[in-house]
Structure 1
Amino acid sequence: LLPGNFNIQTVLVAPLDWGLGHATRCIPLINALVTNGYTVILAAEGAQAHLLQQEFPQLTLLPLAGYRVRYANTRWGLALSLLQQLPRLRNTIRDEHAWLNEVISTHQIDLVLSDNRYGLYSQKVSCIFITHQLTIKAPFGWLQQLLQRINYRFINRFTACWVPDMEGEANIAGILSHPKQVPKIPVLYLGLLSRFAPGEVEKKYDYCVLLSGPEPQRSLLENKFIRELPSVAGNCLLVRGKPGSTEQLHIGPHVTVVNHLPGPELEAAIRQSAYVISRSGYSTVMELLALRKKAILIPTPGQTEQEYLAQRLQSAGICICFTQANFNATQHLPFAHTHHYQFPPLTLFHPTMLPHLLQKSLPQ
């Protein structure tokens, strides 16, 4: 054991399978753990597992079934769909809890970092819950209250809660990360989690479109861009957000299409683009802010937290946003050229912060 390592040698990191954002934002934390001398084991399935294996080929990855949340096209549809899926999700949470207790013994796990996976708590070792959503935004007040109660009931089973945002007034996620009442366990603010840091390079693309998030909405937005990008003035890059796919798309002479870009290549592509068009998922927002990138955000329809976040950032002058239904690439992309973008001062998570965070989080 290294000095100051809190009797911890092996750390399990497991992100939720809702889009790729939970996996990408764990990357800075995994790097920090490795830098600080810990052995890291990952747990995921599907696209998240593929992404993590690409970023960390040297680390052990255990298969762990995801929540596989089915997505709906409308607000009512999503509320109804989530309520229908609650019994199945409860079973998944129970199963992953049993899985964890087994894995703690077989792999000598000393600490668990769970990004929004509610069942990964244990009496055997310290378990830290990572979320930016202490308030779960829902389309209806009664549903929000119900989800809030369920959320805290689970979070309070963990040792501590880490929130990827800045503490105090100058935060990014607003009510999502700074509710009136926080959980009973220690809550610590990490600063923003980003794989990237600011820096200027020569521009190659006028627009970079980043697709992400759950189906069918990813494909619906993709189809819109496939129709509209060929008539946009300027060079465009379309990143489909499909790691593991080998499909090849050709949609026009000035449009480059790629299925997925690993971290360093994605960072280069974003730097080389004048403007980025993406969902307003929180992980994407953190990375665009870290790069001080001019963004046009299109919230996933029905995903209330994304709508809230996009509107909050637009009113602060940080970005412009459009609804998916109203957005038209040829008509609306020129708006970005006249918008006066304003970027706030940021605190980014750094590996040197890890020992202090662990000290504050773990029982002495």
Structure 2
Amino acid sequence: METVNRNILVAPLNWGLGHATRCIPIIRELEKNGFTPIIASDGGALRMLQKEFPHLLSLELPSYDIEYAQNEDDFKWKLIKNSPKMITAIFTEKKVVKNLIGEHNLQGIISDNRLGVHNKKIPSVIITHQLNVLSGDTTWISSKLHQHFIKKFKECWVPDIEEEPNLTGKMGHWKNKKQTVKYIGPLSRLEKKELKEIYDLMIILSGPEPQRTILEQKLKTEIKTFKGKVVFIQGIIEANQKKERKRNVVYYNFMTSEEVERTFNKSKVVLCRSGYTTVMDLAKLKKKAFFIPTPGQFEQEYLAKKLKQDGFVPYAKQDDFKIENLLQVELFNGLPQLRKDVNWEELFILFERE
């Protein structure tokens, strides 16, 4: 009897590690449901998924080659300057995907925010929490542009819930919900486990340079006066894991999903960026946190403000942060666990060939 090929391309954007890490539960579910995921990305996102799934085929896609601003006031200008490069990459990846369909006999595509990874010949899904893309006074134009690309996919999966309270607010909700939008609930590669808390503070860094390094240097100075045990994950993906102990702080360059899960569960408070993937992880694990949004990233600044106003998590601007700010954490409730039972089998019906 002939075996049916069930190859699905899973392609996260390489913008920090968040898009890649939230694809981990999807890749696991595809395998459970008898599909063969093929990973496609570039840079740190690709390297991280290769470490996570060494048994899967992985392919390199064209890089969006985004330069990040040193100064938050230049952030929007840098994005505008990068736009032609991004559009070129989107059109290039469209051509690449067209070839991949034949080469690897693809049955479907799941793209996490890679706007050119779709094709009319096979069912293509985009995962995004940004139905509206916040960019200050140009939000309307960045949102229209993003929605234009979203419409080229057969379905759009939003990793949040439709009702309130939700995690994305105006970012992940259109006033008139389109039929192709499906709310699949928050996505996290992590599970809550009852482990003994051994760290008073977990610091986990992620996101683009140079801001990742700027925050790392600032926090290394600030934690000198912190009383208690600290684990500090720098968010640098390298060939080998490095571990270093300095007084009350243990430093790691990176951790695997399994190690990150254990460390989250063993930590009392988490200090991190307010990237959406981290928000979903914290909600799943019921962890109290403090946010330092990436300067100039409208999305992270919006999420930090919204979640503080909702009484969930406090935050501070990067330049203003002092270690004493962590005392505010006890005054907040922590993120809500938004339960949604995802019927993966039903979602994946889209990829079943007639």
* CA contact 1:239–1:260 (8 Å) conserved in 2: yes
In 1, the alpha carbon distance for the partners of 2:97 and 2:315 equals: 40
Secondary structure of the structure 1 residue equivalent to 2:106: coil
Q: Choose the corresponding residue for 2:225, options 210, 215, 231.
A: 231
Q: Which residue of 1 aligns with 2:336?
A: 344
* CA contact 1:41–1:59 (8 Å) conserved in 2: yes
Asked if 1:47 is matched to 2:41, the reply is no
Q: Which residue of 1 aligns with 2:347?
A: 357
TM-score, length-normalised on structure 2? 0.94
Deviation at 1:2, TM superposition (A): 12
In 1, the alpha carbon distance for the partners of 2:179 and 2:340 equals: 23
Q: Which residue of 1 aligns with 2:66?
A: 69
Q: Which residue of 2 aligns with 1:243?
A: 237
Q: Which residue of 2 aligns with 1:57?
A: 54
TM-score, length-normalised on structure 1? 0.92
Q: Choose the corresponding residue for 1:26, options 23, 26, 51.
A: 23
| Cα deviation 1:85-142 (Å, max 9, x = unaligned) | 11111110000000000000000001000000000111211110110000101122xx
In 1, the alpha carbon distance for the partners of 2:107 and 2:81 equals: 36
Structure 2: which amino acid aligns with 1:137?
L
In 2, the alpha carbon distance for the partners of 1:327 and 1:82 equals: 26
Deviation at 1:324, TM superposition (A): 0.5
* CA contact 2:158–2:181 (8 Å) conserved in 1: yes
Deviation at 1:169, TM superposition (A): 2.1
Deviation at 1:334, TM superposition (A): 2.5
Asked if 1:274 is matched to 2:268, the reply is yes
Q: 1:322 to 1:334 in 2, by over 3 A?
A: same
Structure 1: which amino acid aligns with 2:156?
C
Secondary structure of the structure 1 residue equivalent to 2:83: helix
C-alpha RMSD over aligned residues: 2.2
Q: Percent identity?
A: 36
Asked if 1:113 is matched to 2:110, the reply is yes
In 2, the alpha carbon distance for the partners of 1:210 and 1:122 equals: 36
In 1, the alpha carbon distance for the partners of 2:172 and 2:5 equals: 28
* CA contact 2:10–2:40 (8 Å) conserved in 1: yes
Moved more, 192-201 or 116-125: 192-201
Asked if 1:197 is matched to 2:191, the reply is yes
Deviation at 1:74, TM superposition (A): 3.9
Q: 1:248 to 1:194 in 2, by over 3 A?
A: closer
* CA contact 2:288–2:334 (8 Å) conserved in 1: no
**Residue correspondences, number:** 354
* CA contact 1:8–1:111 (8 Å) conserved in 2: no
Secondary structure of the structure 2 residue equivalent to 1:320: coil
Taking the TM superposition and a 5 Å limit, the aligned residue runs for 1:33-182 are 33-140=30-137, 143-182=138-177
In 1, the alpha carbon distance for the partners of 2:241 and 2:196 equals: 29
Deviation at 1:79, TM superposition (A): 1.1
Taking the TM superposition and a 5 Å limit, the aligned residue runs for 1:2-17 are 9-17=6-14
Q: Which residue of 2 aligns with 1:215?
A: 209
* CA contact 2:111–2:117 (8 Å) conserved in 1: yes
* CA contact 1:71–1:214 (8 Å) conserved in 2: yes
Q: 1:40 to 1:342 in 2, by over 3 A?
A: closer
In 1, the alpha carbon distance for the partners of 2:351 and 2:306 equals: 30
Unaligned ranges ≥5, structure 2: none
* CA contact 1:206–1:274 (8 Å) conserved in 2: yes
Secondary structure of the structure 1 residue equivalent to 2:124: strand
Q: 1:68 to 1:2 in 2, by over 3 A?
A: farther
Higher normalized contact order (CA 8 Å, seq sep 6+, divided by chain length): 1
Structure 2: which amino acid aligns with 1:354?
W
In 2, the alpha carbon distance for the partners of 1:13 and 1:303 equals: 26
Asked if 1:290 is matched to 2:287, the reply is no
Deviation at 1:68, TM superposition (A): 2.4
Q: 1:361 to 1:132 in 2, by over 3 A?
A: farther
| Cα deviation 1:243-282 (Å, max 9, x = unaligned) | 1165968573100000001001001011111100000000
Secondary structure of the structure 1 residue equivalent to 2:270: strand
Deviation at 1:345, TM superposition (A): 4.1
Q: Which residue of 1 aligns with 2:320?
A: 326
In 2, the alpha carbon distance for the partners of 1:139 and 1:238 equals: 32
